Structure 1
């Protein structure tokens, strides 16, 4: 497994949308959660890591 570079992660966070960087400090929990998810998506995209497959959040999966 490739070692994660803290400088690369920091640069990725700083290049994330401003609303997400600011939103992580918001007083409302739902805004902090949305911002945290966006930051995670940006980091995963930069590191070229695919998020796990399946339903996300409150979305229900259909059994086939």
Structure 2
């Protein structure tokens, strides 16, 4: 699986707002939860891209 900066950036922007804001929260637990949510969004986006470089990924 190839990691592409643009794909990761788009996945982060598609993450819930609370997670994007939460990574800057003063509460350590909130930052950890937000980081886990962002990681989940990024990984779920990469799982959808199962084709090769010459294949288009379609959302299910």
1:33 paired residue number = 32
Q: Which has the larger radius of gyration?
A: 1
The count of corresponding residues between Structure 1 and Structure 2 is: 48
Q: Please, what is the CA RMSD of the aligned residues? A: 1.2
**TM-score, normalised by the number of residues in structure 1:** 0.71
Higher relative helix content: 2
**TM-score, normalised by the number of residues in structure 2:** 0.75
Structure 1 runs of 4+ with >6 Å offset? none
Gaps of 5+ in 2: 49-60
